[in-house]
Structure 1
Amino acid sequence: MKENLLRFARHMLTIVLFALPSASYADAILTITANGASEAFSFEELAAIPQTKVVTKNDYTDNSVEFTGPRLRDVLAPYEVGPNKTLIMRAINDFAVNIPASDAFEYDVILALFSNGEKMSIREKGPIWVIYPMDDHPELRDDSYNSRLVWQLVSITVE
């Protein structure tokens, strides 16, 4: 009962946060396009969404790193994105990869804003790095998932 109440409260907080006026495009670090509309988010808005920690190592880190950020499924919740959709994740350099939305529901994929407690700069693959919990799921240690670790993420388009 208590767990259900906490889950409901967390979900309602996410909805309220997304109902607030979105960031001006000047402050935006992420743009989400879904259902024919685009919405811009500042670092502060993304940091206000409940945060999840993922400790993992990937092909782009030397050691295990504690990444912190909102779960991708929580960020997408207001858009009612189902697992059958495709997410086009685009980086600042225009690199883009298609990710099945089902990944967000199957795994605790996060939009990492912090690495070992520090805000990530562009030089450090920030301000947003898509992180999969690879240490928790050995099946994620595969080139197909490594290509989904988009750093310097600037937009998500739902198709």
Structure 2
Amino acid sequence: MLFQKISCVILVVMSFGAPTLLSAEDILTITTPKSTTSFTQEELLGMPQTTVVTLNDYVDDVTTFQGPSLRLLLEKLDISQDATLKMVALNGFSSDIPASDAFNYSVVLAVLRNGKTMPVREKGPIWVIYPMDEHPELQSDIYNGRLVWQLKSISVE
């Protein structure tokens, strides 16, 4: 009897889309001195999207990245250009990025790569992308270190 109930629950979950349940999880948290705000992938995809077509040291070909601009989120949360953003990846890697980068360049919190969502093993679900091809000054080790993939949180410092 218990086995039948468990089987029924599994069937219902499979029928109605377990991926929807998983994708409804928060994938990005932004913490400021005043608040903490989290976003799901759907929320990030529902925001105005910025597209950056660029090459960087971590892709083999010119690639199209799409997602909300970092500037949009900073403005939404009233974060100053003078702030420092600590970008933290799922594996604990972190990089400090001046918020002014978001105002000076079209920095994107990419959730799509060539039109598809990115799984964790392909640098997703979020990859901080700079428009390297549009600005030659971005083609340096300093900015390569700011291309944080598997981004999970941003702390405003």
- The TM-score normalised by the length of structure 2 is 0.83
Matched, 1:29 2:33: no
Matched, 1:45 2:46: no
How do 1:13-28 and structure 2 match up within 5 A? 27-28=25-26
CA drift of 1:100 comes to: 0.3
Matched, 1:61 2:59: yes
CA drift of 1:78 comes to: 1.9
Which entry has the higher C-alpha Rg, 1 or 2? 2
| Percent of residue pairs bearing the same amino acid type | 57
CA–CA distance in structure 1, aligned partners of residues 119 and 48 of structure 2: 21
Q: Provide the residue aligned with 1:116 in structure 2.
A: 114
Alignment RMSD (CA, Å): 0.9
How do 1:1-159 and structure 2 match up within 5 A? 27-159=25-157
Q: Secondary structure at the match of 2:153?
A: strand
CA drift of 1:36 comes to: 2.8
Q: Provide the residue aligned with 2:10 in structure 1.
A: none
- Count of residue pairs brought into register by the alignment: 134
CA–CA distance in structure 2, aligned partners of residues 70 and 157 of structure 1: 18
Q: Secondary structure at the match of 1:32?
A: strand
Q: Which amino acid aligns with 1:57?
A: L
Q: Secondary structure at the match of 1:73?
A: helix
CA drift of 1:79 comes to: 1.7
Q: Provide the residue aligned with 1:14 in structure 2.
A: none
User: Deviations along 1:9-30, whole A, 9 cap, x unmatched?
Assistant: xxxxxxxxxxxxxxxxx71100
Runs of 4+ in 1 over 4 A off after TM superposition: none
CA drift of 1:37 comes to: 1.7
CA–CA distance in structure 2, aligned partners of residues 154 and 54 of structure 1: 21
CA–CA distance in structure 1, aligned partners of residues 80 and 38 of structure 2: 21
Q: Secondary structure at the match of 1:39?
A: strand
CA–CA distance in structure 1, aligned partners of residues 145 and 28 of structure 2: 19
CA drift of 1:53 comes to: 0.6
CA drift of 1:35 comes to: 3.0
CA–CA distance in structure 2, aligned partners of residues 94 and 36 of structure 1: 23
Runs of 5+ consecutive residues of structure 1 not aligned to the other structure: 1-25
